[in-house]
Amino acid sequence: MFEKILIANRGEIACRIIKTARRMGIKTVAVYSDADRDAVHVAMADEAVPIGPAPAAQSYLVIEKIIAACKATGAQAVHPGYGFLSEREAFPKALAEAGIVFIGPNPGAIAAMGDKIESKKAASAAKVSTVPGFLGVIESPEHAVTIADEIGYPVMIKASAGGGGKGMRIAHSAGEVAEGFARARSEAASSFGDDRVFVEKFITDPRHIEIQVIGDKHGNVIYLGERECSIQRRNQKVIEEAPSPLLDAETRRRMGEQAVALAKAVNYDSAGTVEFVAGQDKSFYFLEMNTRLQVEHPVTEMITGLDLVELMIRVAAGETLPLSQDDVRLDGWAVESRVYAEDPTRNFLPSIGRLTTYRPPAEGARGGATVRNDTGVEEGSEIAIHYDPMIAKLVTWAPTRAEAITAQAEALDAFAIDGIRHNIPFLAALMAHPRWQEGRLSTGFIAEEFPGGFEAPVPAGDVARRMAAVAASIDHQLNERKRGISGQMRDPKYLRFERERVVWLGEQRFEATVETVDGGVAVAFADGTTWMVESAWRPGEPVWTGSVGGARAAIQVRGLLNGVFLQHAGAAAEARVYTRREADLAALMPVKEAGGSGKQLLCPMPGLVKSIMVSAGQEVKAGEPLAIVEAMKMENVLRAERDGTVQTIQAKEGDSLAVDAVILEFA
């Protein structure tokens, strides 16, 4: 077994690998760019080596710098994590020449399976059912359009060396193919250093299901069940679960055996994932093979009880797999939510900045469920523009799918993040969505259920009453605290606060009677229901936890002028508690309307201007592209919302812009 390994990665996956290595008694070496000097993975490792400037192309993607770090520290092996160099055939070859072990598959397997075009060819040769497409290299937009016309629309344009949704576009017409081809090639080049793309038929209403395989250097390969990864946005996974609610035991066996056969055909000898696109009728087609550890590997670990990182390290050291296919048991259900630094209310555009608050839910057993949080940040960490926007992966396990979803919803409600925009409200809303809860999934789920984008829903039903009860309880608690302030002109013992209260929750009015009962607060609404509220919450804490109406609850709380902002179960609202007289007067107060900025194109997120596609004086039509802004490895095309004439250009190619910076103005 190795004495010291180097992790050629950053963020949560680097921290994840360090935890397993530490448990195995293996020393670790971290590498870091200038942007990651103060990152969590740097502090966690036994040693850390700087490898260059913030851009990945000058640091994490430079093989020579990784090898130099290994030699300087005496690291015997390298774990690549995912992304960066994890699927680059040249990396394990260079390591081998330097006498360093690669904790991953052999270069031949990466060449056969890691490249998306080559893996399609290998699968076809192995008689594996594949999606119709063109497997050759496409050199021009015109060639891509010709191929797409022959295949039939819609088609998917995909980076050959890609992953994580980068360098991927769905096109429904020749025009979209031409534009998507250019964008996919550009993203592929910047993310992977390889601009090759291919085109294949896009299966309508598909599900994305993948099989986890693990092999050793002695010819043994097994599969560890499947993961359902159909909840995606912009081809990037958002929520994963294991097992899949679609599959039965027979379909699982056929998919697993096919995945193993494909892996054995290329002498696969590490952890890898064979991805399938599946129809609602349980038909499935080989999509690609990822020759690395997957982002979503924790859900497989939770239902199998296995540590995939440990298995990777052991087989890389030459050990035989410690279990056979008959030993694999799937127990319970696991759900994973990817917490991203992005604004779901602004079309999920990236957000950067400092985490002024970062309080994840407590890990470990909670009732009959288990909570796990894989992360690479802490309070005070900086979310930079240079890398993937993932903050954490929140995972819950429970005996059943419904219980795992309930646990995930509670954990999301208890996850407090401030300083940047994030997608937790969206994830919480997904957990409450009936279609998700019923398991009626497809890769088009988010586009179909949120066609106009995401806005936090208005609280309704029991969720609204629960939030109103907590708002009344908080107001009551603050009033009780005021009674204890010393030096008051009137003796607080002679003060009586009115029991009759009005809670304004957004636009909803709740009349209630509020009083202390047996250490808790009883909130009796005008409809005859009474909610007993109990909590140890203290003012200033970002998450209210306790019980409401006898049920456990977590609610996000942020202070407002004369009120609080509450967020729970995906819903959000401002809450203010008044006496009845105050409520009547507050209803008469005028509301200040926000001004508009319709004559300007504003940068929707912090990013780098890749190109300005118009000039001053040019007339543009609604939908016409105006500029391309890159942030967190994704290119975003900004389009005209209406017809108009460009008056002035305020930004130029190469500029780094802040959110809402003016790019151009219209006449």
What are the pLDDT digits (tens) for 124-138? 887 787 887 887 778
Pair type for strands 634-639 and 607-612: unpaired
Q: For the whole prediction, is pTM greater than 0.85?
A: no
Q: For position 38, what pLDDT does the model report?
A: 95
Q: For position 325, what pLDDT does the model report?
A: 98
For 115, the 3-state DSSP assignment is coil
Q: Which residues are known catalytic residues? A: 288
125 vs 75, higher pLDDT: 75
Q: For position 545, what pLDDT does the model report?
A: 96
Of 170-174, 369-373, 395-399, 407-411, which range is least confident?
170-174
* pLDDT exceeds cutoff 60 at 595: no
| Segment 100-129 mean pLDDT | 86
Tens of pLDDT, residues 263-302: 999 999 999 999 999 989 898 999 889 999 999 999 999 9
* pLDDT band at residue 438 using 50, 70 and 90 as cut-offs: very high
Tens of pLDDT, residues 389-414: 899 999 999 999 999 999 999 999 99
* pLDDT band at residue 631 using 50, 70 and 90 as cut-offs: confident
Q: For position 492, what pLDDT does the model report?
A: 58
Report CA-CA distances (Å) from 161 to 129, 164, 178, 194.
Answer: 21, 11, 20, 6
- CA atoms of 638 and 287, how far apart (whole Å): 31
Question: Residue 54, exposed/middle/buried by CB under 10 A (0-12, 13-18, 19+)?
Answer: middle
* pLDDT band at residue 633 using 50, 70 and 90 as cut-offs: low
Yes or no: say if 167 and 159 are a contact pair by the CB < 8 Å rule. Answer: yes
- CA atoms of 665 and 462, how far apart (whole Å): 46
Q: For position 594, what pLDDT does the model report?
A: 54
Tokens 């288990």 locate to 370
Paired with 224 in beta bridges are: none
Q: For position 667, what pLDDT does the model report?
A: 85
Listed ranges 116-130, 158-172, 251-265; the one with the highest mean pLDDT: 251-265
